[in-house]
């Protein structure tokens, strides 16, 4: 706490993605559209699942949670990034930087745990279908979601503590468009090698371990599909391929950034765009465009809305 109280840094300055004003305008327009589509797409999925009784199953319960996390995850970094495109000097207060860092890791870790749980859900559904309703009942699903939020909160608190315990008394320029642990602790007025190792041990281990667990679960699923009928294999592969696509898009950048103690921040901030901006948009596209149940449910909700509006006109 003394290190924090003695800190002379009251704000940080972002370098952003580029210093070219033409590119900044182009990025602002492109990422603004992306962010709006992300919000609309994920909100539509949450609403569709909430108001369609036949979608009240474990798989869609987890999918609605994924959409909620994507809304939160993108909202932590994208609005500040868009603001930065319009400003010559991109700043953030020390307290807001720490808050952004905390929520970034909270939602990112929650998504990592949720994607792992979703893989387990598919494993139980495909490999032990007769026991699925018992193993993955809604009570278990709620407990798993509670556990993932608890684990994500603990992880985020650890990352935040590792950051604020360091003294910040000089440099305040962050070569990124948002606050994250690696570029922030680089500005500390002390040796951060041990802290960097602890960060890799925390974030890197979580990302890599969950990814290996996902690969193992899908390997078992692929082996078990040989015993399924052709139609069963088609449905299973359709669901699992969509999930694995999302996993690759999200885990790839996370593993790239958080498993290396010495990083190149100019490269990392470009890679970060994929899991903070692009992936939250692709999730609803991947799951809805490839899922007939969700698309049919959306059509029915639209028809019901039209009927409801016509009845009052």
Residue 109 pLDDT > 60, yes or no?
yes
Confidence grade of residue 5 (pLDDT, cut at 50, 70, 90): very low
Nearby residues of 245 by Cβ (< 8 Å), 6 or more positions away? 282, 286
Pair of tokens at residue 236: 């299973």
Residue 238 pLDDT > 90, yes or no?
no
Pair of tokens at residue 21: 């004003």
**pLDDT tens-digit readout, 278-297:** 888 888 887 776 677 777 88
Residue 73 pLDDT > 90, yes or no?
yes
Kindly tell me the burial class for residue 88, based on how many C-beta atoms sit within 10 Å of its own C-beta (0-12, 13-18, 19 or more): exposed
Give CATH for domain 2-8+94-311.
1.20.1070.10
b/e map 140-168, b = 16+ CB within 10 Å: ebeebbeebbeebeebbeebbebbbebbb
Mean pLDDT to the nearest integer, 263-279:
74
Q: What is the reported pLDDT for 193?
A: 82
Better pLDDT: 3 or 274: 274
Chain mean pLDDT for the chain: 83
Q: Where are the domains of the chain?
A: 2-8+94-311
Between CA 71 and CA 84 the distance in angstroms is: 20
Q: What is the reported pLDDT for 260?
A: 63
Lowest mean pLDDT among 100-114, 169-183, 265-279: 265-279
Between CA 74 and CA 82 the distance in angstroms is: 12
């Amino acid at each position: 706490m003394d290190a924090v109280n003695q800190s002379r840094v009251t704000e940080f300055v972002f370098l952003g993605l580029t210093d070219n004003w033409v590119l900044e305008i182009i990025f602002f327009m492109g990422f603004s559209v992306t962010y709006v589509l992300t919000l609309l797409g994920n909100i539509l999925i949450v609403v569709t699942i909430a108001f369609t009784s036949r979608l009240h199953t474990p798989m869609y319960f987890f999918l609605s949670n994924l959409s909620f996390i994507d809304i939160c995850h993108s909202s932590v970094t994208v609005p500040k990034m868009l603001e930065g495109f319009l400003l010559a000097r991109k700043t953030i207060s020390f307290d807001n930087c720490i808050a952004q860092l905390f929520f970034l890791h909270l939602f990112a870790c929650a998504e990592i745990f949720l994607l792992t749980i979703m893989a387990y859900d598919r494993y139980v559904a495909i490999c032990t279908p007769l026991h699925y309703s018992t193993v993955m009942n809604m009570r278990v699903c709620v407990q798993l979601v509670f556990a993932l939020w608890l684990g994500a909160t603990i992880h985020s608190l650890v990352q935040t503590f590792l950051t604020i315990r360091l003294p910040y008394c000089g440099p305040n320029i962050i070569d990124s468009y948002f606050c994250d642990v690696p570029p922030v602790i680089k500005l500390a007025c002390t040796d951060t090698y041990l802290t960097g190792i602890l960060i890799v041990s925390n974030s890197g281990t979580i990302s890599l371990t969950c990814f290996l667990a996902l690969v193992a679960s899908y390997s078992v699923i692929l082996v078990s599909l040989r015993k399924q009928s052709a139609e069963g294999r088609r449905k299973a592969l359709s669901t699992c391929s969509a999930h694995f696509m999302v996993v690759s898009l999200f885990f790839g950048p996370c593993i790239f950034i958080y498993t290396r103690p010495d990083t190149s921040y100019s490269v990392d901030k470009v890679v970060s765009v994929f899991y903070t901006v692009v992936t939250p948009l692709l999730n609803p596209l991947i799951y809805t465009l490839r899922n007939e149940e969700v698309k049919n449910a959306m059509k029915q909700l639209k028809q019901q809305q039209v009927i409801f509006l016509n009845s009052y006109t």
